[in-house]
Amino acid sequence: MKPVDRSEFNQYIMKTARDVIQDYNLIEPNDRIAVGLSGGKDSVLTLHLLVELMEEFDFELIAVSIDEGVSGYRGEGIIAARTNAAKLGIELVEGSFKKEYGFTLDQVSKLYQSACIPCGVFRRQLLNKISSELGVDKLATGHNLDDEIQSFLMSFAKADFRRFSKFGPMLDRIHPNLVPRIKPLWKLPEKDVGIWAVMNNIDVHFAECPYSHTSLRSKVKNYLNEMEGSRKGTKLSILESFSKTFKFERKEIIIGQCKLCSEPSSLNVCKACEMVEDIKNRI
């Protein structure tokens, strides 16, 4: 039974994240860590937790926000990101698809089956590029328990076994310019993150992205919520089954760099550059 008292609930949130950080050695003394801060509840909780742990674990923090260019949506998220970073005294660095690639997500969303396809590719690349330029040791993301098992089941359903190496609470450094990712919320259910934000009256952007319904993820999410509703603990059991069955190792993946943009890539031309070329020919 989870605590309903605010202070006990906050302790449960902190303990769950701290256990993941300690059990998987996510943070080392003197680390410089960037938090990918969208302004949504998950990334905002990640920032708040890490600020609280900075002294104890002896590391530095900076935040990075990406504006994908989704009208009526992302703007409010960026405002929440700025508000939280300012309140906590953390520097915020901002990037945008428009500035980096020359178009907004809105302008290219219809070219793909789901807007999440280009969004994921460009956001991952830009977050890594900015973090790498900032010289940070790690990039902390707000991926929670639900995100992780959704991704896992999606890869499982597509038999995309290469992607299994991207799961787990920490992704090692496998290329000098590929900033390792850490996921302090790895064992926290999305619902509890929402409760934390409401209970503590935190300024977060709760709205859903207008493109989210186009993704396979939203279907998997609904399915998992139904399962959890009828059998409590299902999500955590799925995470534990995956953790015991698969090794979260990326050492076997050989990664070079894109010949066009020099970003880390396992192909000659990275997915982002391939998509930019494709988009240029279609808009």
Residue partners of 216: CB distance under 8 A and separation at least 6: 114, 154
CB of 139 to ligand SF4, least distance (A): 17
CB of 34 to ligand SF4, least distance (A): 19
Eight-class DSSP state of 207: P
Q: Which residue from 50, 112, 74 is spatially nearest to 283, judged by alpha carbons?
A: 112
Q: Contact residues for ligand SF4 (CB under 6 A)?
A: 68, 115-116, 119-120, 209, 211-212, 215
* In contact, 43 and 127? CB cutoff 8 Å: no
CB of 117 to ligand SF4, least distance (A): 8
Q: What's the gap between Cα 87 and its chain centre?
A: 22
Residue 169: strand, helix, or coil: coil
Dmax (CA) of the chain = 56
Query: Is 51 or 139 the residue whose CB approaches ligand SF4 more closely?
Result: 139
Query: Is 147 or 228 the residue whose CB approaches ligand SF4 more closely?
Result: 147
CB of 279 to ligand SF4, least distance (A): 15
Query: Is 86 or 207 the residue whose CB approaches ligand SF4 more closely?
Result: 207
Q: Which residue from 208, 182, 219 is spatially nearest to 72, judged by alpha carbons?
A: 208
Cα separation, 282 vs 49, whole angstroms: 43
Query: Is 26 or 66 the residue whose CB approaches ligand SF4 more closely?
Result: 66
Q: Which residue from 206, 175, 202 is spatially nearest to 270, judged by alpha carbons?
A: 175
CB of 14 to ligand SF4, least distance (A): 27
CB of 160 to ligand SF4, least distance (A): 17
CB of 256 to ligand SF4, least distance (A): 26
Query: Is 95 or 120 the residue whose CB approaches ligand SF4 more closely?
Result: 120
Q: What is the Rg, in whole angstroms, of the alpha carbon atoms belonging to the chain?
A: 18
Cα separation, 192 vs 195, whole angstroms: 5
Query: Is 208 or 226 the residue whose CB approaches ligand SF4 more closely?
Result: 208
Phi-psi region of 24 (alpha: psi -120 to 50; beta: other; left: phi over 0): alpha
Query: Is 68 or 263 the residue whose CB approaches ligand SF4 more closely?
Result: 68
* In contact, 239 and 230? CB cutoff 8 Å: no
